[in-house]
Each structure stands twice: as structure tokens, then as C-alpha cells.
């Protein structure tokens, strides 16, 4: 099932990039997609990590929330930058991560980094070292709202 | 100009302004770790608004789909690159200016 | 007309990013600035597509974005290990 979905997504990607709908190019695209999946299978790349299609449902719930958070904190960081006093209070904090799988931890670490104002420096098992631009940003991250949402995102497949 | 073009122009301009703000932060911030936060403004809100503005102009076409792919590339790749930079800087022993030692444990 | 403000803004961003890349002071500051410049160059290429009406520019932007991340990581690895072919930070016996 995962192989079929990987091949289909690759084929869609081919069509989007080429933009030609002649029979020859469509066949070439299909053959390429199938060949790539066959090679990836030999390399053991078509697994829940390489093609995490199981998460697409919960991503539709999680991503809009993430986009909202990104916009909010980008606005906050922009206000700090244009403020003549530059009111920053950088801190290093350790935050707990309750995700079980590697995909979940990567999602959480990437979400922290994508949100302006917080960057994951070290991503270990169960605990991340995070650099925050302001103490308030660090405090709101330590509340663990994002952590819970990512754990739900990871668990809801 | 049609209303759609005006909306797109506003989005493009605001996105460009956020890019400039991020770049100003890149120059103004005191140390490497704080500069990373400024750069991520460019990569999230700046890039996002410019791409959405262009998508409005393109409409429901192949060009729009490519812009979506471009956005997805930024969305997935930029935090990875930022994290790689942060980790490399941390491991090379570059200390963040935190105004006193304030490394806290989880609450 | 639609594109004039955004192009001016992106060019200003490029100039400020270049300033940070020249000022440094550490390697990581320069790498960060180059990474940001790459993102802005992607956006500029995407805008150019609409300005000139030539659809090839988004493909260029995609390739530029891919090269951007690979380039950043290659620079980091090169300055850490001094050689792109070496195994980097892997421990002895840690082959995977």
C-alpha cells in the first residue's frame, strides 16, 4: 500500500514539474516513478519514516494550528526587531518531549525551529535543548501545549 | 488593477517588508543565536506571504502548484538547515549570550 | 507595478544579508546569512517568473532551494571535518 502511494505521489510530482500531457511523457513519468520506488524498496527507504503518508489526516489538523502559531510569533519577533530598544532576553531552556517515534520527535523539533523566537539546538530522546529569544517565549514553550499537540498528531494515525 | 491584483500586491509588499525586517534583525542582533531568530522571520512570514501573493496572481494553474512545492520545500528544509547550523555552533563551543546562566530544567 | 515594491524589498534584504555575511564575525553567522540570502533568491526567482512571464524561473527556484540546504550542510561539514568524504562525527564501529 505504501509503495503504491509513494509511486502515485512521485508520478503526481512528475506531472506538476513537467506540465506536458503527451502519452510518451506520461508513460515515461509512470515508469520513472515505479523504478524509483523499486530502487527505494531495495534501499529500504519506503518505510513510515521515508514516506509518512499515515500522518496526512492528522497533519490537516495540526498544520493550520502550526501556521497560526508561526504567524503569531513571527509578528512578535518582528516587533522586537523594529523596537529601538531591542528588548531581547535570550535563554537556553530544556523542554520535555513526550513523542514516542522519531517522526514525532522530528515534527516537534522542526515545529519549535519553524516558530520564530525559538530554535532547537539539541534534539535528544525525551528532552530538547532550545534557545529562545525572549524569556516569555521560553515560558510559553515550557507550558507544553505544542508538545501535547504533536503527541496527538503522532498518535492519531 | 483588478481587486485581486490589489490584494496580491498588498500581500507581496507586506511579505517583502517582513523580509526586510528579518534582514534588519540579522544585522542588528547581538550574537549568532539571536540572529537565527531574525532569519527565521524571513523564512516563515516573509516567504509565506510572498508565495501566497504569487499564488493569488497565478490562480488555479500549474505555476501555482509549483509555488506550493516551493513553499513545502521551505517549510520542511529551512528548519532542518537552521537546526544543523545551531547544533554545529553549539558543538563548536559558541556560547549564547544569555545575560547570566539561566539554563532551566523542565518545569 | 505590482512587483516593484516586493522586488525593492527583496533586493534590500539581499543587501543587508550580504552585509552580515561580510561582517561575520563567526563562520556560523556567515553560513546563516548565506542561507537567508538563498531563501530570498528563491523568492526573487519566483517573482521574476511573473514579472517576465517565463515559467522556467520556478524550476530554477526549486533547484536553488535544494542546492541551498545541501550547500549549507556541506559547508558546515567541511569546516567541521575538513574533508567532505570523511565519516564526520560517527563513532568507531557505528557504521549505520
**Model pLDDT for residues B25-36, shown as the tens digit of each residue:** 888 888 888 888
Q: What percent of chain C has pLDDT over 90?
A: 15
Q: Find the domain containing C10 and state its range.
A: 4-68
Q: Cβ of B104 and A138 within 8 Å?
A: yes
Q: Is residue C95 part of a domain?
A: no
Task: Say which residue, C94 or C45, is predicted with more confidence.
Answer: C45
The pLDDT of residue B107 is above 60: no
List, for residues B35-82, the tens digit of each pLDDT value.
888 888 888 888 999 999 988 888 888 888 888 888 888 888 888 888
DSSP element (H, E) containing A126: none
Q: Report the chain C residue with the minimal C-alpha distance to residue B51.
A: C43
CB under 8 Å to C85, separation ≥6 — which residues?
none
Distance CA(A136)–CA(A88), nearest Å, equals: 10
Distance CA(B6)–CA(A150), nearest Å, equals: 37
Distance CA(A52)–CA(A153), nearest Å, equals: 12
What confidence category does residue C83 fall into, taking pLDDT thresholds of 50, 70 and 90? low
The pLDDT of residue B103 is above 80: no
What per-residue confidence (pLDDT) applies to A43? 83
Residue the block writes with cell 524571513: B42
The pLDDT of residue A77 is above 80: yes
DSSP string for residues in chain B: --HHHHHHHHHHHHHHHHHHHHHHHHHH-SSHHHHHHHHHHIIIIIHHHHHHHHHHHH-SSHHHHHHHHHHHHHHHHHHHHHHHHHHHHHHTTPPP--SS---B---
Distance CA(B40)–CA(A92), nearest Å, equals: 18
What per-residue confidence (pLDDT) applies to C94? 38
The average pLDDT across A134-146 equals: 80
Distance CA(B37)–CA(B34), nearest Å, equals: 5
What per-residue confidence (pLDDT) applies to C91? 46
What confidence category does residue B101 fall into, taking pLDDT thresholds of 50, 70 and 90? very low
Q: Is residue C84 part of a domain?
A: no
Q: Which of A50, A62, A79, A81 would you mutate first to test chain B, the one with the most B CBs within 10 A?
A: A81
Contact B67, B50 (CB under 8 A): no
What per-residue confidence (pLDDT) applies to C28? 85
Number of H helices, E strands in chain C: 3, 0
Q: Is residue C86 part of a domain?
A: no
List, for residues C30-47, the tens digit of each pLDDT value.
888 999 999 999 999 988
Distance CA(B16)–CA(C43), nearest Å, equals: 10
> Does the CA dihedral A102-A105-A108-A110 come out positive or negative?
negative
Chains that touch B (3 or more CB pairs under 8 A): A, C
Q: What is the mean pLDDT of chain A?
A: 83
Q: Which of A33-47, A85-99, C29-43 has the highest mean pLDDT?
A: C29-43
The average pLDDT across A102-117 equals: 85
Q: Report the chain C residue with the minimal C-alpha distance to residue B8.
A: C2
Q: Is residue C31 part of a domain?
A: yes
Q: What angle do CA A83, C11, C64 make, to 5 degrees?
A: 115
**Quick check: A53 contacting B, CB < 8 Å?**
no
DSSP element (H, E) containing A122: strand A118-123
What confidence category does residue A31 fall into, taking pLDDT thresholds of 50, 70 and 90? very high
Q: Is residue C36 part of a domain?
A: yes
Separation in Å, CA of B98 to nearest CA in chain C: 17
Q: Cβ of B36 and A81 within 8 Å?
A: no
What per-residue confidence (pLDDT) applies to C14? 92
Peptide bond preceding A149 in cis form (omega within 30 of 0)? no
Least confident of B15-19, C3-7, C15-19: C3-7
Q: What percent of chain A has pLDDT over 90?
A: 2
Q: Cβ of B21 and A88 within 8 Å?
A: no
DSSP element (H, E) containing A134: none
Helix runs in chain A, H state only: 2-18, 23-42, 56-82, 102-114, 135-142, 145-155
Amino acid at each position: 500500500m505504501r509503495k503504491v502511494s509513494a509511486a502515485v505521489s512521485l508520478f503526481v510530482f512528475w506531472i506538476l514539474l513537467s506540465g506536458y500531457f503527451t502519452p510518451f511523457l506520461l508513460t515515461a513519468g509512470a515508469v520513472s516513478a515505479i523504478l524509483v520506488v523499486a530502487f527505494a524498496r531495495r534501499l529500504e527507504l519506503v518505510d513510515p519514516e521515508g514516506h509518512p503518508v499515515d500522518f496526512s489526516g492528522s497533519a490537516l489538523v495540526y498544520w493550520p494550528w502550526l501556521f497560526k502559531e508561526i504567524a503569531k510569533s513571527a509578528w512578535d519577533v518582528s516587533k522586537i526587531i523594529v523596537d529601538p530598544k531591542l528588548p531581547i532576553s535570550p535563554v537556553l531552556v530544556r523542554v520535555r518531549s513526550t513523542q514516542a517515534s522519531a517522526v514525532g520527535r522530528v515534527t516537534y523539533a522542526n515545529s519549535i525551529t519553524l516558530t520564530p523566537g525559538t530554535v532547537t539546538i539539541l534534539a535528544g530522546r525525551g528532552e530538547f535543548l532550545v534557545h529562545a529569544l525572549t524569556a516569555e517565549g521560553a515560558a510559553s514553550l515550557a507550558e507544553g501545549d505544542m508538545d501535547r499537540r504533536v503527541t496527538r498528531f503522532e498518535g492519531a494515525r | 488593477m483588478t481587486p485581486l491584483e490589489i490584494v496580491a500586491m498588498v500581500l507581496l509588499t507586506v511579505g517583502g517588508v517582513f523580509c526586510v525586517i528579518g534582514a534588519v534583525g540579522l544585522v542588528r542582533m547581538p550574537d549568532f543565536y539571536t540572529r537565527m531568530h531574525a532569519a527565521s522571520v524571513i523564512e516563515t512570514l516573509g516567504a509565506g506571504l510572498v508565495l501566497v501573493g504569487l499564488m493569488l496572481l497565478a490562480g488555479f494553474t500549474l505555476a501555482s502548484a509549483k509555488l506550493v512545492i516551493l513553499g513545502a520545500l521551505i517549510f520542511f528544509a529551512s528548519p532542518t538547515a537552521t537546526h544543523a547550523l545551531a547544533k554545529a555552533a553549539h558543538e563548536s563551543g559558541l556560547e549564547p549570550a544569555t545575560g547570566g546562566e539561566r539554563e532551566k530544567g523542565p518545569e | 507595478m505590482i512587483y516593484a515594491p516586493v522586488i525593492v524589498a527583496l533586493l534590500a534584504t539581499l543587501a543587508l544579508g550580504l552585509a552580515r555575511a561580510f561582517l561575520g564575525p563567526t563562520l556560523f553567522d556567515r553560513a546563516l546569512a548565506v542561507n537567508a540570502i538563498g531563501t530570498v533568491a528563491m523568492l526573487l526567482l519566483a517573482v521574476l517568473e511573473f514579472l517576465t512571464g517565463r515559467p522556467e524561473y520556478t524550476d530554477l527556484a526549486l533547484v536553488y532551494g535544494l542546492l541551498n540546504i545541501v550547500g549549507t550542510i556541506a559547508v558546515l561539514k567541511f569546516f567541521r571535518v575538513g574533508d567532505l568524504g570523511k565519516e564526520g562525527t560517527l563513532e568507531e564501529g557505528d557504521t549505520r
